[in-house]
């Protein structure tokens, strides 16, 4: 007899819900087996890791810059020359940053070329100094590459320094140049000149001029303006002044320009007009060089002051003609022996006739004790760097190298 199951009834007395639970269990087991067996075209765990590793490597490779930074001299180099050796370059990219510092943290200025392919220092390096170099370049994709290096410069066997005037911290007249005398003759003048930097407040163009191979003077085109502050950086340490001879001096010097005083001596009228700030301050009777011993014409700068000094004709080629041990109120105008000074032996020459051996004489007393005489007044109202200009003498214009007298060169000749 056939029995048809009644819809919704259980078979063989078992409820339908149990079939559902069994189906879920079996399905879960099959799913678990599939997941663990790696069938059906799915990646296994090891295959996925391998692909991930390959992807990471490719990504890293795509991020690496193609730019290459090169630094000369090579890392760790010693006895490196102070100029012409340090260079930084980039290939397959452009330099974006170059830093060169010594162990004290002092940076060397330099310039990256317009195309970014190279960097060169703006100045020489110091001697016996270790330098650290850090350089960065970018490729066409903007990815950076960096390089670091260090080296040490040479310790020179032969050196030079510059002896300078005026002194640091001094106040000087409007005609005072900054003058440097080197202890060795210089055969690389451009390199040495470049190593001396002058700045002023207010700003004015200052240029240097060589007198021979051991003296370099700096001045503006016109006399300094009163109150100008001048700062000079002598960056001579490491500069090669001549083959195998290096500077060993690094110093900053500052001085100030005082009030303006320019005195005009007329050798024919036997007078000196003292001008302060462009106005007549005082007129003083003088005597200048007699025939055969005429005073130089031209602009001369007071370079030294002596309350009392000895003047001996033997030292300037006038053998035996005079030897005065107590010349009062003397101020040097040339290296060859021209002074403006007190004169107690000149009688009535002052303002009347020329009686000296080339100096400019002002009336004084022996011992220089009288502050009221013209020589004492002028001495007390003058400073190193003031200008004394002589005109209408029968002698030629003073040699610009004879004393601090470069003002007798035109600006065109000074800067030539």
User: How many residues does this entry show for the chain?
Assistant: 416
Q: Which of 192-201, 263-272, 273-282, 318-327 has the weakest average pLDDT?
A: 318-327
Topology match between the domains 68-153 and 165-257: yes
Instruction: Tell me whether strands 323-332 and 304-312 are parallel, antiparallel or unpaired.
Output: antiparallel
Confidence check: pLDDT of 4 > 80: no
In sequence order, the β-bridge partners of residue 118 are: 89
The whole-number pLDDT of residue 352 equals: 98
The whole-number pLDDT of residue 52 equals: 54
Catalytic position from the list 124, 270, 341, 357:
341
Tell me how many degrees the CA angle 263-219-232 measures, rounded to the nearest 5: 125
Q: Specify the CATH architecture of the domain 261-414.
A: Beta Barrel (2.40)
The whole-number pLDDT of residue 304 equals: 98
Report the SS3 class of residue 325: strand
Domains of the chain, residue spans: 68-153, 165-257, 261-414
What is the rounded average pLDDT of the residues 330-355?
97
Q: Specify the CATH architecture of the domain 68-153.
A: Sandwich (2.60)
Q: pLDDT confidence of 62, banded at 50, 70, 90?
A: low
> Residue 58: what are its φ and ψ, rounded to 5°?
-65, -40
Q: Residue written as tokens 């407040």?
A: 201
Confidence check: pLDDT of 60 > 60: no
Confidence check: pLDDT of 326 > 60: yes
What is the rounded average pLDDT of the residues 361-390?
97
Confidence check: pLDDT of 55 > 70: no
What is the rounded average pLDDT of the residues 188-202?
98
User: 10 Å Cβ neighbour count for 66?
Assistant: 14
Is 341 annotated as catalytic?
yes
Is 36 annotated as catalytic?
no
Q: pLDDT confidence of 321, banded at 50, 70, 90?
A: confident
For 165-257, the fitting CATH number among 3.80.30.20, 1.10.1660.10, 2.60.40.3710, 2.60.120.620 is 2.60.40.3710
Q: DSSP letters along 242-309, please?
A: ETTEEE--EEEEEEEE-S-EEEEEETTTTEEEEEETTEEEEEEE-B-BPTTSPPPBEEEE--EEEEEE
Q: Residue written as tokens 């005429």?
A: 294
What is the rounded average pLDDT of the residues 32-36?
34
């Amino acid at each position: 007899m056939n029995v048809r199951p009644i819809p919704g009834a259980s078979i063989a007395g078992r409820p339908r819900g149990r079939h559902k639970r069994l189906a879920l269990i079996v399905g879960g087991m099959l799913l678990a087996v599939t997941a663990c067996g790696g069938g059906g075209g799915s990646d296994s765990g090891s295959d996925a890791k391998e692909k991930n590793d390959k992807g990471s490597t490719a990504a890293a490779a795509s991020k690496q810059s193609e730019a290459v930074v090169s630094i000369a001299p090579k890392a760790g180099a010693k006895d490196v020359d102070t100029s012409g050796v340090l260079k930084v370059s980039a290939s397959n990219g452009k330099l974006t940053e170059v830093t060169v510092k010594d162990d004290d943290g002092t940076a060397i200025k330099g310039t990256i070329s317009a195309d970014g392919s190279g960097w060169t220092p703006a100045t020489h390096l110091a001697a016996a100094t270790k330098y650290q170099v850090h350089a960065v370049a970018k490729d066409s994709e903007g990815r950076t590459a960096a390089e670091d290096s260090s080296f040490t410069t040479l310790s020179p066997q032969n050196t030079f320094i510059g002896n300078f005037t005026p002194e640091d911290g001094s106040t000087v007249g409007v005609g005072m140049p900054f003058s440097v005398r080197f202890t060795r003759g210089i055969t690389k003048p451009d390199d040495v000149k470049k190593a001396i930097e002058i700045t002023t407040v207010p700003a004015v163009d200052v240029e240097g001029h060589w007198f021979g191979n051991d003296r370099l003077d700096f001045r503006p085109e016109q006399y300094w303006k009163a109150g100008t502050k001048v700062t000079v950086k002598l960056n001579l340490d490491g500069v090669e002044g001549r083959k195998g001879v290096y500077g060993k001096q690094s110093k900053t010097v500052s001085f100030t320009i005082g009030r303006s005083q320019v005195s005009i001596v007329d050798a024919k009228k036997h007078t000196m007009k003292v001008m302060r700030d462009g106005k007549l301050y005082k007129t003083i009777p003088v005597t200048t060089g007699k025939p055969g011993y005429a005073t130089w014409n031209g602009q001369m700068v007071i370079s030294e002051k002596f309350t009392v000094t000895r003047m001996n004709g033997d030292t300037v080629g006038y053998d035996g003609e005079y030897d005065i041990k107590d010349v009062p109120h003397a101020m040097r105008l040339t290296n060859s022996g021209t002074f403006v000074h007190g004169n107690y032996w000149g009688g009535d020459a002052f303002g009347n006739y020329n009686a000296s051996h080339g100096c400019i004489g002002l009336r004084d007393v022996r011992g220089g004790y009288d502050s009221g005489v013209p020589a004492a007044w002028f001495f007390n109202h003058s400073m190193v760097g003031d200008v004394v200009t002589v005109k209408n003498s029968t002698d030629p214009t003073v040699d610009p190298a004879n004393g601090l007298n470069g003002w007798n060169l035109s600006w065109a000749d000074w800067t030539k």
